[in-house]
Amino acid sequence: MDQLEYRIRRSDRARHARIVVDADGVEVVVPRRMALRHVEPFIASKRPWIERTLRRYAVARETGAVRIDLRDGGSVPYLGEDLYLRVRVEPGRTRPHVARRGGTLIVKVGRTAHVRVAVERWFRRRAREEIAPRLDAATARAGTEYTKLTIRAQRTRWASCSSTGAMSFNWRLLMAPAEIVDYVVEHEVAHLERLDHSARFWALVERRVPDYREHERWLRQHGPALRF
């Protein structure tokens, strides 16, 4: 059996070991006091799941259904359309500037290395502007309320809903088609009524999004490619 490459990160907050698999590879997060001799057996017990997840990332890269190129003349997906990049490097500029003009995203930076961070910040701002009205409308239809909206960069989740009604959404969702964003919002709003993934929860989701299974498949297949 081939050796599985992974990195280990100790965490003061971790109570139990966990594995994170993303486009950067495999990371094992372990409690500060956990003996490293326990890591290899833990990895071995989760190896089938790890390999399946790594294959999904590989397929997403190879199919090229989602294309992201942050160079001048490249493009980034945005709610089902491609925004073409016009990158202007202006030596001496200290504050990056990103603005949309129709189907073009104009990026002004002091150094080429600043492009990714500048575009990500623009996406984060737009994520709140796109998701907030969708969330307000979905909760109004459901007759429920949320307490807080946060935009984050979760590594393994698209969104979450806490027991207090606090909502968190991944800014990378904006690189998916609009109907995928709408589905994820409805999914989390359903959690305001059922904070689990029981049969009753999925029945509630299906009533609101009859084709939710197609959206779930899209996220599994293409989600791993939604990264800069």
What is the three-class DSSP state of 226?
coil
Integer Cα distance of 78 and 176 in angstroms: 7
- CATH 3.30.2010.10 maps onto the chain at 117-225
Q: Which tokens is 31 given?
A: 């409690």
CATH match of 117-225 with 3.30.2010.10: yes
Q: Are 32 and 51 in contact (CB under 8 A)?
A: no
Q: Which tokens is 121 given?
A: 């910040």
Integer Cα distance of 141 and 147 in angstroms: 16
- Residue 76's pLDDT is 94
One pLDDT digit (tens) per residue for the chain, 228 residues: 577 888 999 998 888 899 888 767 889 999 998 998 999 999 999 898 888 888 877 766 666 566 789 999 999 999 999 999 999 999 999 999 999 999 999 999 999 999 999 999 999 999 999 999 999 999 999 999 999 999 999 877 899 999 999 999 999 999 999 999 999 999 999 999 999 999 999 999 999 999 999 999 999 888 888 888
Q: Are 119 and 70 in contact (CB under 8 A)?
A: yes
H/E segment holding residue 10: strand 7-11
